[in-house]
Structure 1
Amino acid sequence: MSTITGERISYLRYEKDLTRDELSKIINVSKRTIVAYEQGTREPSLKTLRLLVEYFNVSADYILGYTNKPYCLDTILKEEKSFIILPKTIQESQTKYNSINDYISFIANKED
Protein backbone atom coordinates (compact mmCIF):
# COMPACT_ATOMS: atom_id res chain seq x y z
CA MET A 1 0.00 0.00 0.00
CA SER A 2 1.18 3.50 -0.75
CA THR A 3 1.65 5.94 2.08
CA ILE A 4 2.20 8.68 -0.51
CA THR A 5 -1.41 8.38 -1.69
CA GLY A 6 -2.62 8.56 1.90
CA GLU A 7 -0.43 11.57 2.63
CA ARG A 8 -1.74 13.34 -0.47
CA ILE A 9 -5.38 12.66 0.43
CA SER A 10 -4.74 13.88 3.97
CA TYR A 11 -2.99 17.02 2.71
CA LEU A 12 -5.73 17.83 0.19
CA ARG A 13 -8.38 17.30 2.85
CA TYR A 14 -6.48 19.60 5.21
CA GLU A 15 -6.13 22.27 2.49
CA LYS A 16 -9.91 22.26 1.98
CA ASP A 17 -10.44 22.35 5.77
CA LEU A 18 -12.47 19.13 5.67
CA THR A 19 -12.94 16.58 8.38
CA ARG A 20 -12.65 12.91 7.49
CA ASP A 21 -16.38 12.61 7.99
CA GLU A 22 -17.07 15.45 5.54
CA LEU A 23 -14.78 13.96 2.88
CA SER A 24 -16.32 10.52 3.37
CA LYS A 25 -19.75 11.95 2.56
CA ILE A 26 -18.45 13.82 -0.49
CA ILE A 27 -16.89 10.73 -2.07
CA ASN A 28 -19.46 8.28 -0.66
CA VAL A 29 -17.21 6.06 1.46
CA SER A 30 -17.09 5.49 5.21
CA LYS A 31 -15.00 7.55 7.59
CA ARG A 32 -13.05 4.36 8.39
CA THR A 33 -12.19 4.08 4.69
CA ILE A 34 -10.77 7.63 4.70
CA VAL A 35 -8.68 6.69 7.75
CA ALA A 36 -7.42 3.58 5.91
CA TYR A 37 -6.51 5.66 2.83
CA GLU A 38 -4.64 8.20 4.93
CA GLN A 39 -2.80 5.52 6.91
CA GLY A 40 -1.80 3.76 3.70
CA THR A 41 -3.53 0.49 4.55
CA ARG A 42 -6.02 0.77 1.69
CA GLU A 43 -5.96 2.23 -1.83
CA PRO A 44 -8.91 4.08 -3.34
CA SER A 45 -10.81 2.30 -6.11
CA LEU A 46 -10.73 3.78 -9.59
CA LYS A 47 -14.21 5.22 -9.03
CA THR A 48 -13.13 6.83 -5.76
CA LEU A 49 -9.91 8.11 -7.31
CA ARG A 50 -11.95 9.83 -10.01
CA LEU A 51 -14.16 11.45 -7.36
CA LEU A 52 -11.06 12.67 -5.49
CA VAL A 53 -9.53 14.06 -8.70
CA GLU A 54 -12.72 15.91 -9.57
CA TYR A 55 -13.40 17.21 -6.07
CA PHE A 56 -9.87 18.39 -5.33
CA ASN A 57 -9.24 19.48 -8.94
CA VAL A 58 -5.85 17.80 -9.18
CA SER A 59 -4.43 15.08 -11.40
CA ALA A 60 -4.59 11.41 -10.45
CA ASP A 61 -0.81 11.33 -10.91
CA TYR A 62 -0.48 13.79 -8.03
CA ILE A 63 -2.74 11.80 -5.70
CA LEU A 64 -0.94 8.57 -6.58
CA GLY A 65 2.48 10.13 -6.01
CA TYR A 66 3.78 10.01 -9.59
CA THR A 67 4.34 13.76 -9.60
CA ASN A 68 4.84 16.36 -6.91
CA LYS A 69 3.01 19.06 -8.84
CA PRO A 70 -0.72 19.14 -8.08
CA TYR A 71 -1.77 20.10 -11.60
CA CYS A 72 -5.27 21.54 -11.72
CA LEU A 73 -7.54 19.27 -13.66
CA ASP A 74 -9.16 22.34 -15.25
CA THR A 75 -5.77 23.53 -16.51
CA ILE A 76 -4.90 20.11 -17.92
CA LEU A 77 -8.18 19.95 -19.83
CA LYS A 78 -7.71 23.48 -21.22
CA GLU A 79 -4.15 22.76 -22.34
CA GLU A 80 -5.07 19.52 -24.08
CA LYS A 81 -5.27 20.22 -27.78
CA SER A 82 -6.84 16.89 -28.59
CA PHE A 83 -7.95 13.90 -26.63
CA ILE A 84 -9.94 10.78 -27.23
CA ILE A 85 -13.45 10.63 -25.81
CA LEU A 86 -13.99 7.00 -24.96
CA PRO A 87 -17.40 5.43 -25.48
CA LYS A 88 -19.57 5.14 -22.38
CA THR A 89 -21.26 1.86 -23.30
CA ILE A 90 -20.52 -1.29 -25.25
CA GLN A 91 -23.34 -0.41 -27.65
CA GLU A 92 -21.76 3.00 -28.27
CA SER A 93 -18.42 1.24 -28.85
CA GLN A 94 -20.00 -1.07 -31.41
CA THR A 95 -21.67 1.86 -33.18
CA LYS A 96 -18.37 3.77 -33.39
CA TYR A 97 -16.57 0.63 -34.55
CA ASN A 98 -19.16 0.05 -37.28
CA SER A 99 -18.89 3.68 -38.43
CA ILE A 100 -15.11 3.47 -38.63
CA ASN A 101 -15.26 0.10 -40.38
CA ASP A 102 -17.79 1.45 -42.92
CA TYR A 103 -15.54 4.46 -43.61
CA ILE A 104 -12.48 2.26 -44.10
CA SER A 105 -14.45 0.04 -46.50
CA PHE A 106 -15.66 3.12 -48.37
CA ILE A 107 -12.11 4.47 -48.76
CA ALA A 108 -10.74 1.04 -49.73
CA ASN A 109 -13.39 0.56 -52.41
CA LYS A 110 -13.34 4.11 -53.69
CA GLU A 111 -12.39 4.40 -57.32
CA ASP A 112 -9.88 7.07 -58.16
Structure 2
Amino acid sequence: MKRGDIVSNITGERISYLRCECNLTREELCKIIGVSKRTIVAYEQGTRDPSVKTLRALVEYFNVSADYILGYTNKPLRLDAIRKEEKSYILLPKTIQESKAKYNSINDYVNYIASKHGDK
Protein backbone atom coordinates (compact mmCIF):
# COMPACT_ATOMS: atom_id res chain seq x y z
CA MET A 1 0.00 0.00 0.00
CA LYS A 2 1.40 3.40 -1.01
CA ARG A 3 1.48 6.51 1.20
CA GLY A 4 -1.26 8.12 -0.90
CA ASP A 5 -3.47 5.07 -0.36
CA ILE A 6 -2.97 5.28 3.39
CA VAL A 7 -3.84 8.98 3.42
CA SER A 8 -6.92 8.33 1.27
CA ASN A 9 -8.09 5.59 3.63
CA ILE A 10 -7.57 7.78 6.69
CA THR A 11 -9.28 10.71 4.97
CA GLY A 12 -12.21 8.50 4.03
CA GLU A 13 -12.49 7.12 7.54
CA ARG A 14 -12.41 10.63 9.00
CA ILE A 15 -15.08 11.92 6.62
CA SER A 16 -17.29 8.92 7.41
CA TYR A 17 -16.69 9.34 11.15
CA LEU A 18 -17.47 13.06 11.11
CA ARG A 19 -20.57 12.51 8.99
CA CYS A 20 -21.87 9.86 11.39
CA GLU A 21 -21.00 11.98 14.44
CA CYS A 22 -23.24 14.72 13.00
CA ASN A 23 -25.97 12.17 12.20
CA LEU A 24 -25.81 13.03 8.51
CA THR A 25 -26.66 10.75 5.63
CA ARG A 26 -24.44 10.76 2.58
CA GLU A 27 -27.23 12.54 0.72
CA GLU A 28 -27.31 15.32 3.31
CA LEU A 29 -23.54 15.74 3.29
CA CYS A 30 -23.32 15.86 -0.50
CA LYS A 31 -25.87 18.70 -0.55
CA ILE A 32 -23.99 20.58 2.18
CA ILE A 33 -20.59 20.44 0.48
CA GLY A 34 -21.78 20.46 -3.13
CA VAL A 35 -20.67 17.08 -4.47
CA SER A 36 -22.53 13.98 -5.62
CA LYS A 37 -23.39 11.02 -3.41
CA ARG A 38 -21.08 8.90 -5.57
CA THR A 39 -18.23 11.29 -4.72
CA ILE A 40 -18.95 11.00 -0.97
CA VAL A 41 -18.89 7.21 -1.29
CA ALA A 42 -15.55 7.41 -3.14
CA TYR A 43 -14.09 9.64 -0.41
CA GLU A 44 -15.27 7.32 2.34
CA GLN A 45 -13.96 4.23 0.53
CA GLY A 46 -10.60 5.91 0.01
CA THR A 47 -10.72 5.68 -3.78
CA ARG A 48 -10.81 9.44 -4.28
CA ASP A 49 -9.40 12.42 -2.43
CA PRO A 50 -11.38 15.61 -1.91
CA SER A 51 -10.37 18.67 -3.90
CA VAL A 52 -9.07 21.71 -2.04
CA LYS A 53 -12.47 23.36 -2.46
CA THR A 54 -14.27 20.33 -1.05
CA LEU A 55 -11.74 19.92 1.75
CA ARG A 56 -12.35 23.53 2.73
CA ALA A 57 -16.12 22.91 2.77
CA LEU A 58 -15.61 19.85 4.99
CA VAL A 59 -13.33 21.80 7.33
CA GLU A 60 -15.84 24.64 7.62
CA TYR A 61 -18.87 22.40 8.08
CA PHE A 62 -17.34 19.97 10.59
CA ASN A 63 -15.35 22.73 12.35
CA VAL A 64 -12.11 20.72 12.35
CA SER A 65 -8.66 21.28 10.87
CA ALA A 66 -7.70 20.00 7.43
CA ASP A 67 -4.80 18.20 9.12
CA TYR A 68 -7.31 16.13 11.07
CA ILE A 69 -9.40 15.22 8.02
CA LEU A 70 -6.27 14.31 6.05
CA GLY A 71 -4.91 12.17 8.89
CA TYR A 72 -1.85 14.27 9.72
CA THR A 73 -3.01 14.62 13.32
CA ASN A 74 -5.28 12.55 15.51
CA LYS A 75 -6.57 15.57 17.42
CA PRO A 76 -9.70 17.01 15.82
CA LEU A 77 -8.70 20.60 16.48
CA ARG A 78 -11.76 22.78 16.34
CA LEU A 79 -11.52 25.70 13.94
CA ASP A 80 -13.12 28.07 16.39
CA ALA A 81 -10.41 27.24 18.95
CA ILE A 82 -7.69 27.71 16.32
CA ARG A 83 -9.17 31.05 15.26
CA LYS A 84 -9.41 32.19 18.89
CA GLU A 85 -5.75 31.28 19.42
CA GLU A 86 -4.77 33.13 16.24
CA LYS A 87 -6.59 36.24 17.48
CA SER A 88 -4.66 36.12 20.75
CA TYR A 89 -1.40 36.10 18.78
CA ILE A 90 -2.61 39.02 16.69
CA LEU A 91 -3.47 40.94 19.85
CA LEU A 92 -0.20 40.06 21.57
CA PRO A 93 1.87 42.93 20.08
CA LYS A 94 -0.81 45.41 21.19
CA THR A 95 -0.76 43.94 24.70
CA ILE A 96 3.03 44.17 24.79
CA GLN A 97 2.89 47.80 23.66
CA GLU A 98 0.28 48.61 26.32
CA SER A 99 2.38 46.91 29.00
CA LYS A 100 5.47 48.78 27.86
CA ALA A 101 3.56 52.09 27.96
CA LYS A 102 2.29 51.34 31.49
CA TYR A 103 5.80 50.40 32.62
CA ASN A 104 7.22 53.61 31.13
CA SER A 105 4.51 55.66 32.81
CA ILE A 106 5.17 54.08 36.20
CA ASN A 107 8.91 54.42 35.72
CA ASP A 108 8.51 58.11 34.83
CA TYR A 109 6.40 58.65 37.95
CA VAL A 110 8.95 56.90 40.18
CA ASN A 111 11.73 59.03 38.68
CA TYR A 112 9.63 62.18 39.21
CA ILE A 113 9.03 61.32 42.89
CA ALA A 114 12.70 60.49 43.34
CA SER A 115 13.74 63.83 41.83
CA LYS A 116 11.35 65.76 44.12
CA HIS A 117 12.62 64.07 47.26
CA GLY A 118 16.22 63.93 46.21
CA ASP A 119 18.78 61.62 47.74
CA LYS A 120 18.08 62.20 51.46
The answer for unaligned runs of 5 or more in structure 2 is 91-120
State the TM-score, normalized to the length of structure 2. 0.67
Structure having the higher helix fraction is: 2
User: How many residues are aligned here?
Assistant: 82
Aligned to 1:36: 42
1:20 aligns with 2:20: no
How far 1:61 sits from its partner (Å)?
0.2
The runs of at least 4 aligned residues of structure 1 exceeding 4 Å deviation read none
- Structure 1 segment 1-112 matched on structure 2, within 5 A: 1=5, 2-80=8-86, 81-82=89-90
Q: Highest CA radius of gyration, 1 or 2?
A: 2
* Residue deviations 1:6-46 (CA, integer Å, cap 9, x gap): 00000000000000000000000000000000000000000
State the TM-score, normalized to the length of structure 1. 0.72
Give me the whole-angstrom Cα distance separating, in 1, the residues matched to 2:59 and 2:41: 18
Q: Output the amino acid matched with 2:72.
A: Y
Does the residue aligned with 1:43 lie in a helix, a strand or coil? Answer: coil
The answer for unaligned runs of 5 or more in structure 1 is 83-112
Give % identity: 79
Computed over aligned residues only, the root mean square deviation of the Cα atoms, in angstroms, reads: 0.6
